[in-house]
């Protein structure tokens, strides 16, 4: 029974995290609308997108200079708190699993987003799931109003902001990265 509960709360947390990731990325990181999140908007929409608009991947990350690629993992429990309090009204186990899922989300975001923009051929760089996520994110940089999910690409499908690659997109990726056999690449 406990096992089933854990599986259920993990699935619930993954879905909720997908929607939070989508809405935070779309509404706070890409819109200047809320003054309190001005720095979040500038760091992402201005610094990150501007830097990676022409070249998706460049050299491995230099210390203290990651062009707003990473989230702050230790802030994940704080961001999760308002939702965790609501979930705790029903289940402490659910609240704990949700906070753990948010921490995991931030950790995965940092690792895959770094590999996408600063490739170092990390161990997962040839995994099919990683390449799917990298292609999704490459398309987000090409079409900034699409593909807001980076880690859990579910909300994009439900909220109709998902974009697949067109023939022209694939051609453009080939020009940037060559073929998979020619050299290791994120896409
Ligand atoms: Zn990016
Ligand atoms: Zn973005």
Each residue's pLDDT tens digit, 88-145: 999 999 999 999 999 999 999 999 998 988 888 899 998 999 999 999 999 999 999 9
Q: What pLDDT is attached to residue 120?
A: 85
| Distance between Cα 4 and ligand 1 center (Å) | 36
Read off the pLDDT of residues 12-48 as tens digits, 9 standing for 90 and up. 999 999 999 999 999 999 998 787 788 888 888 888 8
Proximal ligand: closest to the CA of 68: 1
| Distance between Cα 171 and ligand 2 center (Å) | 22
Q: Are 24 and 152 in contact (CB under 8 A)?
A: no
DSSP letter at 35 equals: G
Proximal ligand: closest to the CA of 147: 2
CA 25 to chain centre: 9
Question: What pTM was estimated for this model as a whole?
Answer: 0.87
Proximal ligand: closest to the CA of 46: 2
Task: Report phi then psi at 79, rounded to 5.
Answer: -65, -35
Number of helices followed by number of strands (H, E) in the chain: 8, 0
| Distance between Cα 171 and ligand 1 center (Å) | 20
Residue 182: pLDDT above 50?
A: no
* Stated length of the chain: 187
d(C-alpha 187, C-alpha 181), whole Å? 12
Residues in CB range of 163: below 8 A, 6 or more apart? 139, 143, 146, 147
Q: Are 178 and 185 in contact (CB under 8 A)?
A: yes
| Distance between Cα 168 and ligand 2 center (Å) | 21
């Amino acid at each position: 029974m406990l096992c089933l509960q854990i599986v259920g709360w993990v699935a619930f947390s993954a879905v909720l995290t997908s929607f939070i990731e989508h809405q935070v990325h779309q509404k706070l990181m890409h819109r200047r609308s809320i003054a309190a999140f001005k720095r979040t908007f500038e760091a992402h929409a201005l610094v990150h997108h501007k830097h990676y608009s022409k070249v998706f991947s460049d050299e491995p990350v230099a210390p203290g200079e990651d062009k707003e690629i990473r989230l702050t993992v230790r802030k994940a429990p704080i961001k999760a708190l308002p939702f965790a309090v609501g979930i705790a009204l029903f289940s402490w186990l659910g609240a704990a699993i949700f906070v753990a899922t948010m921490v995991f989300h931030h950790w995965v975001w940092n690792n895959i987003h770094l590999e996408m923009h600063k490739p170092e051929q990390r161990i997962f760089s040839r995994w099919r799931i990683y390449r799917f996520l990298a292609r999704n994110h490459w398309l987000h940089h090409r079409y900034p109003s699409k593909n807001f999910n980076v880690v859990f690409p579910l909300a994009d499908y439900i909220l109709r902001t998902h974009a697949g690659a067109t023939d022209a997109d694939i051609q453009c990726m080939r020009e940037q990265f060559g073929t998979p056999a020619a050299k290791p690449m994120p896409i």
